[in-house]
Amino acid sequence: MEWLTTLFRAFAKPFQWWIVVGPWERGLRIRLGKVAADLAPGIHFRIPFLDRIHLQSIRLRSIADSNHTAASRDHHTVTVGIAIDYSIVNLGVLFNILSSPEATLRFRAAAAIAKFVGSKDRQDITAKVVEDAVNEEIRTFGCGLGEIRARVTAFSFARTFRLLMNDYSSGAGLYHGYDREPGQLNS
């Protein structure tokens, strides 16, 4: 009997004349392919088949992003992990400009880390100054987002080692010519 109720609700949903927006949400009503209105919390009427409603949570969100590696001006390797907090303040602007705010914020933060670290020597780089540089870059971002803040969650100077590996699976580099006579080419 529950399947019948589910089927009835699924069939009735497109004919529903109202939508309820929760206190932690904002809505965007699109009528006939044009933005008609931003929807605040409460009950709103919609015209079936003419209106599309997009609901979006506006609560504070966090993105954890780790292991951004960059080289300083004096060739020391820095690894930085960050967390980015943001909320949505204008749903219409966000939908018109961005497809993926999380990815965009990650890429902007990674670019800010690389730019800042690459322009400084090791003794000038600390977790606090990297955090300040990232915040300066992403706070001006806007695009319908608000309360944007980055925090450094991991920070280290790491030694890097370059490993030279042979591709044994394909047989390339397997012999290195050591089993051949001098002057003979690898084939």
Per-residue pLDDT for 93 more than 90?
no
Out of 133-137, 142-146, 165-169, 173-177, pick the least confident: 173-177
47-63 residues labelled b (16+ CB within 10 A) or e (exposed): eeeebebeebebeebeb
CATH numeric code, 61-158? 3.30.479.30
pLDDT at 84: 93
Q: Mind listing the pLDDT tens digit for each residue in 43-69?
A: 998 888 888 888 988 899 999 987 888
Cα atoms in the Cβ-side hemisphere of radius 13 Å centred on 79? 8
Domain boundaries along the sequence of the chain:
2-57, 61-158
Out of 104-113, 124-133, 145-154, 162-171, pick the least confident: 162-171
pTM (2 decimals)? 0.70
